[in-house]
Amino acid sequence: MEPQDSQQLPLIHQSLDSRYSVFARNALDELPDNFTITDPCISGHPIVFASRGFLKQCGYSHDEVIGRNGRIFQGPETNRTSVMEIREAVREERAVQVSLLNYRKDGTPFWMLFHMNPVYSTEDGRVIHFVAVQVPLARRSNKNRLSYGCGGSCRREVCSDSTMELDRYSPPDLGKCCSEERCEASDFERRKAVTAIDNILSLLICYSESMGRLVCGRRCRSLTSTSTVFSSALNISLGRIKQSFVLTDPYLPDMPIVYASDAFLRLTGYAKHEVLGRNCRFLSGVDTDSSVLQQIKDSIQGEQACTVRILNYRKDMSSFWNLLHTSPVRNATGKIAYFVGVQMEEGCKSTEDRNGLSPAMRQLGAVGAVKVAVRSLSMAAACSSQS
């Protein structure tokens, strides 16, 4: 199991609490369904909530699951095509329902119906979470024989109705029988998954309304043609870039931040929801040089890159010298999609690179990685629309 990033834990806790309130967790825990909630805006697209039923089903503890990607439940017999179907649904920000072979902590495989649905912000139409329900496929028939969570070719004793009897057998035996025949969900199991999704979404909508940050299960707002949809796939790609940076949308009023990296949040002390939708000027303070701000503004208007040294302020009002590099980011058609700002704190140990690269070279590397991510996804979107 991959190690958990302790620096992400505050972001993971804020993911639900800032949108639905701290009381939503208790309400979610009362639901009987097996499900997880993931956040595509956090690096690695981690699980931020796992229901009691899900933890019991897979045999993991809460701390072993939260903060990790759902791939930890996959194994050698997990169908790669099904996994790619889920990934494509994440990229396209749509619902998906597939049968999937997953693995418990003790290594035993089990078939389930995986039903995932995006959760959208009504404010800007962006995906903020994915809800994934897992319905165990516990009843299958083949030649009038019952099986538990696997194809009908299982041995008679493994196909017992008792889960405890099932758990006696070793993972290799069970894995072999499960991989011989793909399990498909019945209409009843499919309806059960849809009902569970509806119940979870209803609860999230109710608690988001109490926070004044309403969500919905369908994209509720049509975005303007001049502003590209900031997709979950782009969030995930950008999350792999470990430096401090933000993206701003030049087509929205006041050019707000639409993406902020985890490193930026650590540098400034702000939470993600306190940053998104705001102009970068909130980092300025009483001693910030207005001529430097004008230099940045002029470079943006001229669609040019710019490097400055500017005094900025954290949330706690402590100041730091920011080595800031801004640059336009163009999509596959050559049109400016965003502006990126890469920050480095002058004199901080984190600005020292183990490979001997200067701060300027590391900033250019981050800008290059952002440009590759934006262009690649805009090319993929263009190809999808033509097919």
Q: What is the CATH number of the domain that holds 342?
A: 3.30.450.20
Find all residues with CB under 8 Å of 343, minimum gap 6, and list them. Answer: 244, 245, 246, 264, 267, 312, 322, 323, 324
- Same domain, residue pair 281 and 370: yes
Q: What is the pLDDT of residue 380?
A: 58
Q: What is the pLDDT of residue 226?
A: 37
Residue 276, domain member (yes or no):
yes
Q: What is the pLDDT of residue 273?
A: 80
- Same domain, residue pair 66 and 131: yes
What does pTM read for this prediction?
0.59
- Same domain, residue pair 77 and 205: yes
Q: What is the pLDDT of residue 158?
A: 33
Residue 173, domain member (yes or no):
no
Residue 164, domain member (yes or no):
no
Residue 172, domain member (yes or no):
no
- Same domain, residue pair 68 and 194: yes
Give the Cα separation of 350 and 6 in Å (integer). Answer: 17
Residue 223, domain member (yes or no):
no
DSSP 3: P
- Same domain, residue pair 121 and 188: yes
- Same domain, residue pair 93 and 24: yes
Residues of the chain with pLDDT under 70: 1-7, 138-182, 219-231, 349-356, 378-387
Number of domains in the chain: 2
Q: What is the pLDDT of residue 163?
A: 32
- Same domain, residue pair 190 and 41: yes
| Residue 110, domain extent | 6-137+184-216
Indicate the residue among 192, 216, 240 that finishes a domain. Answer: 216
pLDDT tens-digit profile of 199-212? 999 999 989 988 88
- Same domain, residue pair 128 and 31: yes
- Same domain, residue pair 57 and 202: yes
Residue 43, domain member (yes or no):
yes
